[in-house]
Amino acid sequence: MEPKGQQLVHCPSCGFNGVRRRESVLLQIFGALTLAGIIIPVIGWMVLFPIGVIGFLPAGVYEYLISKKTRMVCTQCKHKFVISTELYKTLKKHLKN
């Protein structure tokens, strides 16, 4: 029998198998800046938006293309941990099926 996706990754702290991906803090900050830049007139458009986009792009490229690690968080105890992107892809594939 094929192993189910949820059985591939366990929380290292409590052993629970409900885990989800956690976005990087940098991406969240730059994403928020970009969003604020769209909403806030003038200063937002001239300052926040460019900073957000300029920061978001390299952070996103690093996160999704260069980094071989994927940040995960346990949905039970909120323990944060890291797995290899390879394992994450396998996990995602199993979760879809």
**What does the binding site for Zn ion look like in residue numbers (CB under 5 A)?**
11, 13-14, 16, 74, 76-77, 79
Q: Which CB, 21 or 57, lies closer to Zn ion?
A: 21
Q: State which residue, 15 or 50, has the beta carbon closest to Zn ion.
A: 15
Distance in angstroms (rounded) separating the CA atoms of residues 9 and 65: 22
User: DSSP 3-state assignment of 71?
Assistant: strand
C-alpha dist (Å) from residue 30 to 21, 24, 25, 57: 18, 10, 9, 9
Measured CA to CA, the distance from residue 88 to residue 77 in angstroms comes to 20
Shortest CB 82 distance to Zn ion, Å: 14
Cβ 16 to Zn ion shortest distance, Å: 5
Min dist CB 66 to Zn ion, Å, is 28
Nearer to Zn ion, 33 or 72 (CB): 72
